[in-house]
Structure 1
Amino acid sequence: MGREEQVEEREVLDSIFPEEITDISDTEYRISILLDVPPDDDEDTDEPPTIVLHVRYPENYPDEPPVLELSAPQNVPTHPQFSVASDKDQLLQGLEETIQENLGMAMVFTLVTTLKENAEQLVADRKAELAKAHEEALLAAEREENKKFHGTPVTPETFVKWRAGFIKEMEEERLRLEEERLAELKKSRVKEEKKLTGKQLWERGLVGKIDEGEDEDTGLAEGVESLKVAS
């Protein structure tokens, strides 16, 4: 009875997967499963991944599970988010529950459907993880950029540190201004000493001789005038 069910299931599968199914023997065949995976914006040239499901009927199938194996098509580049070599153990394990639920019935079509859904979900989850990581990286960069426009949060510790620095800066500025003021005063005093008054010049004897000469000239002039009047 098992063989009859196997032949019947194989005929049904041939009508469902006319281009995808290939016989290996009377009890063994393979089915190519193309995953419906939308390309990313920067992966327009990537082809959707394909899984090749190898099915071999044991003598008592469907009362016992079929022998399954997964492989990738030959000469096909690996998809960025999917690799049959790396993911096949996880995908085969994901079929165990479906196999147990369908023992005693033809199950290959159900297994193909489950395998396709699980693989597509695996790719979708990885795309979501990449998108999340990319978004987190952008947010982290944005937070770093925003730090340039926001001051350090004020805490008692930061305030005390700022206050000590501010007082030190103000004291240094006061000393600098005081030094400049003293320097200006020193320059002013030097200029004042260079500009002596007439009295200071006379007191220092710098104009005494000139004054005496002027007095003698004045006396001679007055004597001449007196002689003129007397005659």
Structure 2
Amino acid sequence: MTDYKEEQTNEVEALESIYPDEFTVLSDEPFHTFKITVSSEETDDLEDGPLEVTLQFTYTPTYPDEAPEYQVIPDESLQESHLENLKQILEQQIEENLGMAMVFALVSATQEFLNDMIDNLKKEKEAELEREEEVKRIAEEERDKILKGTPVTIESFLSWKEQFDQEMAELKSKTQQNEGGNKKLTGKELFMTDQNLDTSDMDLLDESDRVEVDESLFQEIDDLDLDAELDLADDS
């Protein structure tokens, strides 16, 4: 006949030696009630430190042939969804270990669960840092583009010139269409297009209106000593 009480007492003594700082006996009558604080591995990457869960167990009359009563007391870091996932893991461990002392297996599964959570939190933090670095890099590149401008190469200049010539041709064509081909030329444009206009006015004058100019008068002016005349004017 199985002595359940003895088996339970032996397990309590073993657990107390394995977890001397985490194990606390709350009662030993009629059956042992105790709690074990389970912590994740230490990490410097998270500001809140390691995750912790307290597992509280109470033996039943025929434990380990039946499951112990247990309670999961999480810290503030665990959300309700995390708690439900942990309970599913513990139920699976209980089912697999019926008939054997199972508290150590339940504590180990809980610690592994917390370590996985720490790993996921690390990955999330690393991904967030990478996103921040990417945003920072893009912002710096945009700033450098504004400060430095876009360098001009032969290829980019030729591409720009081709586009510019095309736009100018389209603009010229559109202007001619809008004006219906009846654009009035300015005097300068008329002169540039008809080289005979510089003599046309002279041809319109009558012989009586024309003035004969004696070119010898201008030659005599050229012979004058203008510097001497200016000096006499200053002396007076």
Q: CA RMSD in A?
A: 4.2
Letter in 1 for 2:170: E
Letter in 1 for 2:108: T
**Matching residue of 2:112:** 117
Structure 2: any 5+ residue segments left out of the alignment? 151-164, 215-236
Deviations 1:93-115 (A, max 9, x none): 11222212211111111110111
SS in 2 for 1:53: strand
2:107 alignment partner, SS class:
helix
Matched, 1:57 2:59: yes
Aligned residues of 1:71 and 1:85 also touching (Cα < 8 A): no
Q: How many residues align?
A: 181
Q: By how many angstroms is 1:189 displaced?
A: 2.4
Change (3 A) 1:187 1:10: same
Letter in 2 for 1:110: A
Alignment of 1:187 onto 2:225: no
Distance 1:106 1:48 in 2: 28
SS at match of 2:67: coil
Identity rate of aligned residues, in percent? 28
Compute the displacement of 1:206 (Å).
3.0
Where structure 1 has 5 or more consecutive residues not aligned to the other structure, the ranges are: 150-165, 215-231
TM-score normalized by the length of structure 2: 0.59
- Output one character per residue of 1:102-138: Cα deviation in whole Å (capped at 9) or x when no partner: 1111111111011110222133235435645765787
Match of 1:203 among 203, 206, 216: 206
**Equivalent position SS for 2:209:** coil
Letter in 2 for 1:15: S
Q: How does 1:31-50 map to 2 (within 5 A)?
A: 31-36=36-41, 38-40=43-45, 43=46, 45-50=47-52
For residues 150-203 of structure 1, the C-alpha deviation after alignment (integer angstroms, 9 at most, x for no partner) is xxxxxxxxxxxxxxxx97774224445998xx7776423269899557843643
For 1:20, which of 19, 22, 39 is the aligned residue?
22
Q: State the one-letter code of the partner of 1:117.
A: E
Pick aligned residue for 2:97 from 91, 97, 102: 102
1:7 aligned to which of 1, 9, 15:
9
CA change 1:50–1:167 in 2 (3 A) is same
Query: What TM-score do you get using the length of structure 1 for normalisation?
Result: 0.60
Q: Which amino acid in 1 is paired with 2:9?
A: V
After superposition, give the CA deviation of every residue in 1:21-58 in whole Å (9 maximum; x if it has no partner): 11111111111111115343xx4x32211111111111
